[in-house]
Amino acid sequence: MKSRAYITLASVGIAISGMTLVWGQSPEAPVNADHADHAECAYFGPKRAQFMENTLGTARRTRSSFSQETEAIVARLGGLDSTRQFIPGGSRTFSSQKGSSSGNVVDKHIFGVLQEKGIQPAARTNDYEFVRRVSLDLTGRVPKPERVTAFVSDSDPDKRAKYVDELLNSAEWVDKWSMFFGDLYKNTDQVRATNTLRRAEGREAFYNWIYNSLKDGKAYNRMAFELIAAEGPNSWTQGELNWQIGNRTTGGPTQDHFDQMAAAAMETFLGNSHFNCIVCHNGRGHVDTLSLWGKSASRMQAYGFAAFFAQATFVQQPRDQRPDPNIYYWTVGLNRNGTYALNTTTGNRPPRQPVSGARVVAPVYPFGDAMTANAGESLRTAAARLVTSDFNFSRATVNYIWKELMVRGLVEPVNQMDPDRLDPDNPPPAPWTLQPSNAALLRDLAQDFIDNGYNLKSLMRRITTSDAYQLTARYDGQWNPSWDNLHARRLVKRLWAEEVYDAIAQTSNVAAPITITVSTRVPNGAVAMTRVVPAAMQTTSPASRGGAAAFLNPFYPGDREDTERRRDGSDQQALTLMNNNFVMTRTRANAAGGLLSKHINKTDRELVENLYHTVLSRMPDESERATAGAALTSGNRQQAAENLLWSLYNKVDFFFNY
């Protein structure tokens, strides 16, 4: 290793004076005598340049693969066909050559860049595609066939915007985003890593808080504020206490709680998961090639933020109905005398020892101008205030939502935002580049979010009514994979596990209710309390999927702990959609009140159209009509009809959101 370093030094022509390595012109990374013997270290030596280039280059390369999948899937959707390209007269159109004239902040930036680079965007999506896409994106449900018909035949030029509003105001919108935020806040019955129990009661309370916050249109900065600053006697009745509780840490001193809460706040609300590294050690020598902010961030700075959580207390309260030590709820309290002491040698993080004589760390927000709590303000409230008024809080939230609606975040991965690389008015020094694919867009959309009072619906409206959102996934020219992050075409994605389940139940018209356990208290030996929900999107946590879990799991819904929700495919998904009884029973003509029974006595043409219209939210094209028609006329018609419905549930355009 030593000899390799010297060879590299020579080849790069770096001057060595004594044992001090002078590298590049990087004033923010002075190499002093303390680090002299880091000369051989890969992180500081000449190899560093190579890492940076490799990392950034690899990051750029890997991000371009979204379009690969899109190309493959779109190819299966078929070519041009007048039925499927139907754009009824009267709907707002635009010329992609001229760019969008919508005045929408999203369009200004997306099309601005495309024009600048001379890239032709994809064509506008047709009404069939739009109605299904936006319904899935905003509500996790496919549109009902009557709504599809009404939408497509509507001649109102503003029908798309009006449909967006209809979806935003629906009960299903609340369901889907309750699931989304349940994922983000990691609402589970227990945290396995620390054996912290919310239990079903706590999880339901947390779900209800999320649900009601969304339903009531609570401003998002207020939601975040409540989660960070919450105090209260009972986690089973006060849902917002459960975010802090989930970040409790066992097997160590109380400083471990504070660190974990701080790290979780950084990731959940500021999209910054590198912070969790800095809580253990300085960034230097660890995250140098990952985060510009991180590489000069110090553990003291991390303590400074963690210190805001030093007044938090967690007390288990055993239920007095049954003296079972495992049945308890939590009280989250405030200890005004709590401080962040540098006096640990054990636990989950490296030792915390006095620095330059300082034995206690004062709370200081790690970004901006040394901000701290106001006089009389509790520290947790101060943290909530500082986080939610940070511009990057808006950026991070906008990015999370953008990713869900536009498939690719403006910053990817969404939880690796680098605070020092986001501002287009203050770009990072070379070779670092601005992190967002469109930094001006992220800035302006974040500002727009703030100007609208951190209103989630208004943000989603802004995105889904933009022309950029309404591009089709088909591309009629030669596509270049490096354009992936420019949103010049729609990117496809698989449906969520819950969306697949609910789409099959809804379109087949055969209900699939799920029983959720909502209480584990067993007073007087009675059965644990449950409630029934009609849709998978209304389940409240991974543990609450009940009997539906077997169907859902192959579609990677995640467990909100170690396993995130994934968009990947698998053999088991194919096996499930082809053979699982959940699907099979719903494809049969004898399913009572089912989709097939409703249309089987119609003409072949009508039958085919209705099945397509209901399951895929579109009309069959000529070749599909011919194939399906031929199947219906040869052999057993009922069986052929069942086969047809089965095929639609296994078709690529059922399973993908395009």
Partner 1 sequence: MVPGTTFPQATEINAMFNESTFRRFVKKNPHHHMPFYARPSGSRRDFFRTLGAAGLASIPLQAQVVKGQSVQTQNTAKNVIFILLAGAPSHVDTFDLKMTNGITPGTFNSTDLKGVAWNTGVFPKLAGQFDDIALVRSARAWAAQHTLSQTWVQIGRSPAAVLGDVAPNMGAIVSIEKKGERTAGQIFPTFLALNSDGAIGAGYLPATYEPFKFAPNAAGLPNTTNPDGAVRLEAKYSLLQGLDNPLRVNSPYGDPMTDFNAFYQAARGLMYNPAVDKAFKYSTADAARYGTTTFGNALLTAKQVLEANMGTRYIQVSLGGWDMHNNIYTTQAGQNSIFSLGKVVDDALSTLIADLKSNGQFNETLIVMMGEFGRTVGQLSATAGRDHYLQQFVFFAGGGVKGGRAIGTTDAAGARTAEFGWSGERDVRVEDVEATIYSALGINWTNIRYDDPFGRGFEYVPYANEGLYKPINELWS
Q: Which residues of 346-375 are buried (b: 16+ CB within 10 A; e: fewer)?
A: ebbbeebeeeeeeeebebbbbbeeebebee
Task: Based on the shown chain and the rule CB under 8 A, indicate whether residue 444 belongs to the binding site for partner 1.
Answer: no
Q: How many residues does the chain have?
A: 658
Task: Based on the shown chain and the rule CB under 8 A, indicate whether residue 575 belongs to the binding site for partner 1.
Answer: yes
Q: How far is the CB of 377 from partner 1 (least distance, A)?
A: 28
Task: Give the binding range for partner 1 (CB under 8 A) out of 58-66, 103-111, 221-229, 422-430.
Answer: 58-66
Measured from the CB atom, the residue of 370 and 574 that comes closer to partner 1 is 574
Task: Give the binding range for partner 1 (CB under 8 A) out of 10-18, 273-281, 309-317, 334-342.
Answer: 273-281
Q: How far is the CB of 243 from partner 1 (least distance, A)?
A: 14
CA-based end-to-end distance of the chain: 50
Q: How far is the CB of 142 from partner 1 (least distance, A)?
A: 18
Task: Based on the shown chain and the rule CB under 8 A, indicate whether residue 343 belongs to the binding site for partner 1.
Answer: no
Measured from the CB atom, the residue of 256 and 467 that comes closer to partner 1 is 256
Reading the block at residue 210, the tokens are: 């999320």
Task: Give the binding range for partner 1 (CB under 8 A) out of 285-293, 381-389, 469-477, 535-543.
Answer: 285-293
Task: Based on the shown chain and the rule CB under 8 A, indicate whether residue 589 belongs to the binding site for partner 1.
Answer: no
Using CB under 8 A, count the residues that bind partner 1. Answer: 101
Strand, helix or coil for residue 37: helix
Reading the block at residue 156, the tokens are: 């109102």
Residue in 108, 258, 628, 658 binding partner 1, rule: CB under 8 A: 628
CA angle 77, 135, 400 (to 5 degrees): 100
Task: Give the binding range for partner 1 (CB under 8 A) out of 6-14, 77-85, 153-161, 363-371.
Answer: 77-85
Residue in 185, 236, 400, 646 binding partner 1, rule: CB under 8 A: 646
Residue in 9, 77, 227, 459 binding partner 1, rule: CB under 8 A: 77
Q: How far is the CB of 444 from partner 1 (least distance, A)?
A: 25
What is the distance between the alpha carbons of residues 582 and 500, in angstroms, rounded to a whole number? 11
Residue in 6, 49, 71, 458 binding partner 1, rule: CB under 8 A: 71
Task: Give the binding range for partner 1 (CB under 8 A) out of 104-112, 297-305, 309-317, 638-646.
Answer: 638-646
DSSP state for residue 332 in the 8-state scheme: E
If DSSP states are collapsed to H, E and C, what string results for 418-485? CHHHCCCCCCCCCCCCCCCCCHHHHHHHHHHHHHCCCCHHHHHHHHHCCCCCCECCCCCCCCCHHHHH
Tell which positions 545-574 bind partner 1, by CB under 8 A. 553, 559, 561-564, 566-574
Q: How far is the CB of 167 from partner 1 (least distance, A)?
A: 25
Alpha-carbon 512 to chain mean position: 26
What is the distance between the alpha carbons of residues 399 and 418, in angstroms, rounded to a whole number? 13
* DSSP characters over 644-657: HHHHHHTSHHHHEE
CA angle 409, 292, 271 (to 5 degrees): 35
Q: How far is the CB of 326 from partner 1 (least distance, A)?
A: 12
What is the distance between the alpha carbons of residues 252 and 242, in angstroms, rounded to a whole number? 20
Measured from the CB atom, the residue of 506 and 576 that comes closer to partner 1 is 576
Task: Based on the shown chain and the rule CB under 8 A, indicate whether residue 327 belongs to the binding site for partner 1.
Answer: no
Task: Give the binding range for partner 1 (CB under 8 A) out of 149-157, 278-286, 299-307, 434-442.
Answer: 278-286
Task: Based on the shown chain and the rule CB under 8 A, indicate whether residue 194 belongs to the binding site for partner 1.
Answer: yes
Q: Which residues contact 535 (CB under 8 A, 6 or more apart)?
A: 141, 175, 498, 501, 502, 505, 506, 512, 514
List beta partners, residue 358.
355
Task: Based on the shown chain and the rule CB under 8 A, indicate whether residue 428 belongs to the binding site for partner 1.
Answer: no
Q: How far is the CB of 93 from partner 1 (least distance, A)?
A: 27
Q: Taking the CB of residue 172, how many other CB atoms lie within 10 A of it?
A: 17
The answer for 301, left when phi > 0, alpha when psi is -120 to 50, beta otherwise, is: alpha
For residue 383, which of 265, 268, 274 has the smallest C-alpha distance?
265
List beta partners, residue 531.
516
Measured from the CB atom, the residue of 317 and 623 that comes closer to partner 1 is 623
For residue 429, which of 13, 27, 14, 53 has the smallest C-alpha distance?
27
Measured from the CB atom, the residue of 47 and 141 that comes closer to partner 1 is 47
For residue 586, which of 525, 654, 656 has the smallest C-alpha distance?
654
Q: How far is the CB of 649 from partner 1 (least distance, A)?
A: 10
How many helices (DSSP H) and strands (DSSP E) are in the chain?
28, 12
Measured from the CB atom, the residue of 218 and 567 that comes closer to partner 1 is 567
Tell which positions 605-624 bind partner 1, by CB under 8 A. 623-624
Measured from the CB atom, the residue of 217 and 350 that comes closer to partner 1 is 350
Measured from the CB atom, the residue of 467 and 620 that comes closer to partner 1 is 620
x/- mask, partner 1, residues 123-162, rule CB under 8 A, reads ----------------------------------------
Q: How far is the CB of 66 from partner 1 (least distance, A)?
A: 6
Task: Based on the shown chain and the rule CB under 8 A, indicate whether residue 590 belongs to the binding site for partner 1.
Answer: no
x/- mask, partner 1, residues 286-315, rule CB under 8 A, reads x--xx-------------------------
Q: Which residues of 413-433 are buried (b: 16+ CB within 10 A; e: fewer)?
A: ebbbbbbbbbbeeeebeeebe
What is the distance between the alpha carbons of residues 438 and 399, in angstroms, rounded to a whole number? 11
Tell which positions 397-426 bind partner 1, by CB under 8 A. 412-416
Task: Based on the shown chain and the rule CB under 8 A, indicate whether residue 256 belongs to the binding site for partner 1.
Answer: yes
Residue in 90, 157, 217, 251 binding partner 1, rule: CB under 8 A: 251
Measured from the CB atom, the residue of 538 and 541 that comes closer to partner 1 is 541
Q: Which residues contact 636 (CB under 8 A, 6 or more apart)?
A: none
x/- mask, partner 1, residues 9-48, rule CB under 8 A, reads ----------------------------xx-xx-------
Task: Based on the shown chain and the rule CB under 8 A, indicate whether residue 511 belongs to the binding site for partner 1.
Answer: no
Tell which positions 82-101 bind partner 1, by CB under 8 A. none
Task: Based on the shown chain and the rule CB under 8 A, indicate whether residue 189 belongs to the binding site for partner 1.
Answer: no
Q: How far is the CB of 168 from partner 1 (least distance, A)?
A: 27
Q: Taking the CB of residue 17, how many other CB atoms lie within 10 A of it?
A: 7
Between the alpha carbon of residue 363 and those of residues 225, 308, 504, the distances in Å are 18, 5, 52
Strand, helix or coil for residue 318: strand
Instruction: Scan for tokens 């006096």, then name that residue.
Output: 343
Q: Taking the CB of residue 132, how many other CB atoms lie within 10 A of it?
A: 23
Tell which positions 517-546 bind partner 1, by CB under 8 A. none
Torsion of CA 61, 67, 68, 73, to 10 degrees: 170
Task: Based on the shown chain and the rule CB under 8 A, indicate whether residue 650 belongs to the binding site for partner 1.
Answer: yes
